Amino acid sequence: MQPTHSVSFNRYPGRGELTVLFSGHAQTEPRHLVGPQVLDYYLVHFVVSGRGRFRTQGKDYLLERGSSFFIFPSELVTYESDGDEPWAYRWIGFKGDRAAELLLAAGITERRPVTVSGHPRRMNVLFGRIEETLRSGEPHCDLQAGGYLRLILAGYASELQNNPAPREKPSAIQQQVEQAIRWLTLQYYQPISIEQMAQTLGYHRTHLSKMFKQHTGLSPVQFLLKIRMERAKRLLMEPLTIEQVASSVGFADPLYFSKQFKKWYGKSPSEYRQDQHFNPYDCGQ
């Protein structure tokens, strides 16, 4: 299948108990790998077709059509599509004061982040409606998307299987790397250094860097840049100037930020916005 990717952002995100940030869908390439990474919001994927692997808290989950996997803030995760039957999935990013409470009510926790829907067609439709609602860009889209998300959580609550699998205990090296990744994820907007990170965590810089690259495939510096670029990509869909986006992801010099963004994605921040048909001046500023 031809790989595809589409995402819609909430231009009017609220600050209430449950807010959808963005939604999208993709047909992935074989062995499409995301992570290891840590997010600062909740993210749920619904598998439409194909197969793949999701890893969190030292455990691997093999998932296929009808499965959903949840990513919690500050949890280190990796997910990869199958080499022969790469998955197609939909996703929703969200946050809110009651997000953790509502997920718990649906039986979904960090230790039980996977569920299988008995009504995959209905779930697929609800995920799709959130993306369509956000794409409309109407002022009421935040309320409407939040309503659909509640219906989705209600569906999970009624269908969740109550057989949690045992967890694997992570190794000492894995724990060290996970600590480093969490630290970078929480501090990426600061003018930080790898020496500062190693000193804060109590590890020798050379040892930590070596273990970090063995575990993630990237050096700590590369991983920090990856976090910043991925965050910047999402912030560019909000009504912020390039200077504000640069400052929000730890760059004091917006010109240097733009050069790094173009090196990472092959286009400047302004060009990326144009490709997404996004105009920050259409969002109330």
Mean pLDDT in residue range 184-197: 81
Q: How does residue 281 score in pLDDT terms, banded at 50, 70 and 90?
A: very low
Name the residue ranges covered by the structural domains of the chain.
Answer: 4-159, 172-280
β-bridge mates for residue 33, sequence order: 80
**Contact present, 273 and 240 (Cβ < 8 Å):** no
Which stretch of 50-54, 128-132, 149-153, 207-211 has the lowest confidence by average pLDDT?
A: 207-211
The answer to whether residues 3 and 27 touch, using CB atoms and an 8 Å cutoff, is yes
Region 4-159: CATH code = 2.60.120.280
Model confidence pLDDT, tens digit, residues 86-99? 999 999 999 887 88
Residue whose C-alpha is closest to residue 28's, from 81, 68, 90: 81
Q: How confident is the model at residue 279 (pLDDT cuts 50, 70, 90)?
A: low
Where would I find the beta strands (DSSP E) of the chain? 4-9, 19-27, 33-37, 42-49, 51-56, 59-64, 67-71, 77-81, 88-95, 114-116
Span of 26-35, 119-128, 150-159, 259-268 with lowest mean pLDDT: 150-159
Token look-up 């949840």 returns 70
* pLDDT of 278: 57
pLDDT range class, residue 257, cuts 50, 70, 90: very high
Please, which pLDDT band fits residue 260 given cuts at 50, 70 and 90? very high
pTM above 0.85, yes or no: no
Closest CA to 63 of 97, 113, 16, 21: 113
CATH classification code of 172-280: 1.10.10.60
Q: Is residue 212's pLDDT more than 70? A: yes
Residue 63 confidence (pLDDT): 93
The residue type at 58: G
Work out the pLDDT band at 166, boundaries 50, 70, 90.
very low
Residue 160: per-residue pLDDT: 61
Which helix (H) or strand (E) element contains residue 214? helix 205-216
The pLDDT assigned to 219 comes to 87
For range 149-155, the mean pLDDT: 87
Average pLDDT of the chain to the nearest whole number:
83
Position with higher pLDDT, 217 vs 278: 217
